[in-house]
C-alpha cells in the first residue's frame, strides 16, 4: 500500500506540472522526456556522446559537433568527414537563428558536360559512382566553424569520443551488419573500404567490434591542427593523391579555398508560428515554407490527420512546389533564385487557386510558376537542445549510402558522391527522379542543389520544435508532415513521428504512401485521380518538441538504432 501511495503522488505531481504533456492517457505513442537537455540522433552511441557533453556543461553546439564527429565513426553510411551539410543554430542569448552552409562544392576543374558521353547521354556510373563524383567536402569545416563561433568547449574535447570509438572500436549493430552486406559490391571496389568494413572474406556480425585505426589517425590530426589538417595538411595530401591516382579532379587548391558560409535562415509563418529553415543551395526551407503557405488557406486540422481531404491538399501543394523547384532553385552565387517570390503569401494564393478539392491536377498540365522577384536516402539528421535554450538542427550526408563507397587511402574517410546532385544534363532527372534545370547545372566551385531541411519552429522567437530528416527528395515533405501533425492536428511528437507519410514530387506523377495508410483513404484518393504507389519508409526524423518547460523527443522508428536521450 505505501508504494501505491508514493506512485500515485508522483503521478499527481507530474500531471499537475504538465497534464497534457507527460501522460496523455488517450495517446498510444509517447515521447522521451527531459528538462535540462536532449539529443536525438540515428545512433545510440552518438546520442550518448552528445548527452555526455551536455552533462559536462557543454552547450547545444558543443554536443552537436561531438555527435557529428561520432556519427562519422558509428554510422558510416551517412555520418561523415568526407561529405557536407547544413546546420541551424539558435542562440538563446541573442534570440537569433543562423544558417551554416557547409555543403560540398564542385572542384575547380568541373565542367558542365563532364558526365555526358559522346552521344550527349548522361553516364550514370561516372556521375554517381566514380572518382569524378566527389565534391569538395565541407563537414570538417562546418563542424569546426560552428564550434569556434557558437560553442564553449575546445575541439580536442568534443572530438575525443569519436577518436576513442574509431581506435578502440564499437559494437556492430544488426543494422550495420545488414547494410554492410547489402552494399558490399559498392564498398569492395575500393581496397581501403574492403579492408575497413570486411574481415578478409568474411562479414562483421552484430556484436563484433569494428575498429577504424586510419579514421582514428585522421580524427587525431583534426584534433591537433583543427580544420587545417583536413584542408591544408596531411589529410589533404592523402585524399588528393588517391583521387588523382584514379582519374579524379580534386586539387589542393579546391581544399584550401573551401569556405563555410553563414547566412540568415529563410523565414516564414504558419498559423502563428515562425518557421526557420535552410536557404539555397538547399531547396528545403523555401519549398517547405511555400507548401505551408498554400496549406494555411485551408482548415487542415478539421479534415483529420491523414484523411483523404488532408492528404489530397498536401499532395497538390507538393506537386506545385516541386514543379517550381525544377526551374528556380540552384546555388544563389550562380543563379538568381527568386526566394522572396517563392515565399510570398500572395504567390501561395495564386498557387492555391490552381488546386481542385475533388480531383487532381495532372503533372503534365503544371508548369513551374513565375514568382516575382532545388540527397540521398542515407543522409542523417540530429537535433540538440541544452538547458539554456540553445538549439541545433543539423542534416549532413555523403549522398548515397557510403557515398562513392571509396575510402581515400590512409585516411579511413569515405568520400561523397555529391556531384550526382547536380543536373548532369538540364531537363534530365537525377538518381531520385528529381528534374533539374540550368539553375543546377554543373559549374566550377558551385554547390549542388539539396533537399536537406534542418528546421526550427519558433513561437514568440523561442524554439518549440527542432526537426529534420534524411530521405532524398522526400526530406522536404517529411518535415512538412511533422510540422502539420504538431500544429494542425495537435499530436505529440511521438505521434507526429510515427504517423504514416505520403509524398508527391511533381514527376513522376505518383502519390507515394507508406504501409499503414488506411485502405479506404487510398481508395478515395484514387477516385479523385491520384496514381497511388506504396513505397518503403520515408525519412528518419530526429525531433525535439519544447512544451510546458519540458523537452519531448522522438527518434523515428522507420530505421533501426535511432535514439533520443534527455535529462
Q: Cell for 435? A: 528534374
Residue tagged active-site, from 379, 397, 453, 455: 379
Residue at grid coordinates 549493430: 173
**Which residue has 542543389 as its cell numbers?**
449
318 — phi, psi (to 5°)?
Answer: -60, -45
Residues in the chain: 567
Estimate the share of the chain in helix, then strand, then coil, as percent rounded to the nearest 5: 40, 20, 40
Q: Which residues are bridge partners to 394 per DSSP?
A: 87, 382
Residue 360 near residue 314 (C-beta atoms within 8 A): no
How far is residue 356's CA from residue 372's CA, in Å, rounded to a whole number?
Answer: 24
Report the run of H or E that residue 345 belongs to, with start and end.
Answer: helix 345-352
Rounded CA separation 190/198 (Å): 12
Q: What are phi and psi of 358, to 5 degrees?
A: -110, 0
**DSSP character string of 121-165:** -B-HHHHHSSGGGPPBP-HHHHHHHHHHHH-SS-HHHHHHHHHHH
Any idea what the Cα angle at residue 444 is, between residues 440 and 448, rounded to 5°? 35
Active site residue 94: no
Q: How far apart are CA 478 and CA 473, in angstroms?
A: 9
- Residue 379: how many CB atoms within 10 A of its CB? 31
Neighbours of 539 (CB within 10 A): 27
The string of DSSP letters for 89-123 reads EEETTTTEEEEEEE--B--TT--TTTTB-TTS-B-
Q: Kindly give the pairing relationship between strand 38-41 and strand 380-385.
A: antiparallel
CB contact at 8 A, 449 and 258: no
- DSSP symbols for 312-370: HHHHHHHHHHHHHHHHH-S-TTTS---HHHHH-HHHHHHHHTT--SSSPPPGGG-----
Q: Which residues are catalytically annotated?
A: 379
Amino acid at each position: 500500500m505505501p508504494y501505491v501511495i508514493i506512485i500515485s503522488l508522483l503521478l499527481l505531481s507530474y500531471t499537475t506540472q504538465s497534464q497534457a504533456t507527460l501522460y496523455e492517457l488517450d495517446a498510444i505513442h509517447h515521447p522521451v522526456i527531459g528538462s535540462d537537455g536532449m539529443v536525438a540522433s540515428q545512433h545510440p552511441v552518438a546520442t550518448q556522446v552528445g548527452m555526455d557533453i551536455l552533462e559536462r556543461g557543454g552547450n547545444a553546439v558543443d554536443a552537436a559537433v561531438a555527435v557529428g564527429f561520432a556519427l562519422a565513426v558509428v554510422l558510416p553510411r551517412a555520418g561523415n568527414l568526407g561529405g557536407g551539410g547544413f546546420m541551424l543554430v539558435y542562440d538563446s542569448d541573442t534570440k537569433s537563428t543562423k544558417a551554416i552552409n557547409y555543403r560540398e562544392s564542385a572542384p575547380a576543374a568541373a565542367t558542365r558536360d563532364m558526365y555526358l558521353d559522346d552521344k550527349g547521354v548522361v553516364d550514370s556510373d561516372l556521375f554517381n559512382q566514380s572518382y569524378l563524383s566527389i565534391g569538395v567536402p565541407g563537414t570538417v569545416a562546418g563542424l569546426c566553424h560552428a564550434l569556434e563561433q557558437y560553442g564553449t568547449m575546445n575541439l580536442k574535447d568534443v572530438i575525443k569520443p569519436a577518436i576513442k570509438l574509431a581506435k578502440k572500436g564499437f559494437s556492430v549493430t544488426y543494422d550495420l551488419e545488414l547494410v554492410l552486406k547489402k552494399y558490399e559490391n559498392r564498398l569492395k571496389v575500393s581496397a581501403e573500404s574492403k579492408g575497413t568494413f570486411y574481415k578478409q572474406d568474411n562479414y562483421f556480425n552484430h556484436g563484433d567490434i569494428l575498429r577504424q585505426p586510419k579514421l582514428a589517425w585522421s580524427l587525431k590530426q583534426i584534433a591537433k591542427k583543427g580544420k587545417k589538417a583536413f584542408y591544408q595538411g596531411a589529410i589533404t595530401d592523402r585524399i588528393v593523391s588517391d583521387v588523382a591516382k584514379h582519374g579524379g579532379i580534386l586539387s589542393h587548391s579546391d581544399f584550401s579555398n573551401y569556405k563555410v558560409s553563414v547566412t540568415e535562415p529563410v523565414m516564414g509563418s504558419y498559423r502563428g508560428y515562425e518557421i526557420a529553415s535552410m536557404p539555397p543551395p538547399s531547396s528545403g526551407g523555401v519549398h517547405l515554407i511555400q507548401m505551408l503557405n498554400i496549406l494555411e488557406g485551408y482548415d487542415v486540422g478539421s479534415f483529420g490527420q491523414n484523411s483523404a481531404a488532408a492528404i489530397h491538399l498536401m499532395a497538390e501543394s507538393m506537386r506545385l512546389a516541386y514543379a517550381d523547384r525544377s526551374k528556380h532553385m540552384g546555388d544563389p552565387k550562380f543563379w538568381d533564385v527568386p526566394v522572396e517570390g517563392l515565399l510570398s503569401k500572395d504567390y501561395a494564393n495564386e498557387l492555391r487557386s490552381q488546386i481542385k478539392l475533388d480531383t487532381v491536377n495532372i503533372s503534365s498540365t503544371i508548369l513551374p510558376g513565375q514568382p516575382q522577384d532545388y540527397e540521398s536516402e542515407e543522409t542523417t539528421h540530429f537535433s540538440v537542445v541544452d538547458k539554456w535554450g540553445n538549439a541545433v538542427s543539423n542534416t549532413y550526408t555523403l549522398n548515397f549510402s557510403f557515398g562513392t563507397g571509396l575510402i581515400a587511402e590512409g585516411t579511413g574517410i569515405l568520400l561523397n558522391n555529391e556531384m550526382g546532385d547536380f543536373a548532369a544534363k538540364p531537363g534530365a532527372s537525377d538518381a531520385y527522379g528529381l528534374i533539374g534545370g540550368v539553375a543546377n547545372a554543373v559549374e566550377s566551385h558551385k554547390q549542388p542543389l539539396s533537399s536537406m531541411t534542418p528546421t526550427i519552429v519558433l513561437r514568440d522567437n523561442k524554439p518549440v520544435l527542432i526537426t529534420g530528416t534524411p530521405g532524398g527528395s522526400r526530406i522536404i515533405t517529411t518535415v512538412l508532415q511533422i510540422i502539420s501533425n504538431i500544429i494542425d492536428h495537435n499530436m505529440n511528437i511521438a505521434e507526429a513521428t510515427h504517423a504514416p507519410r505520403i509524398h508527391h514530387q511533381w514527376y513522376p506523377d505518383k502519390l507515394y504512401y507508406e504501409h499503414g495508410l488506411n485502405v479506404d483513404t487510398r481508395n478515395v484518393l484514387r477516385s479523385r485521380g491520384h496514381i497511388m504507389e506504396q513505397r518503403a519508409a520515408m525519412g528518419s526524423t530526429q525531433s525535439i518538441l519544447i512544451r510546458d518547460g519540458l523537452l519531448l523527443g522522438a527518434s523515428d522508428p522507420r530505421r533501426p538504432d535511432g535514439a533520443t536521450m534527455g535529462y
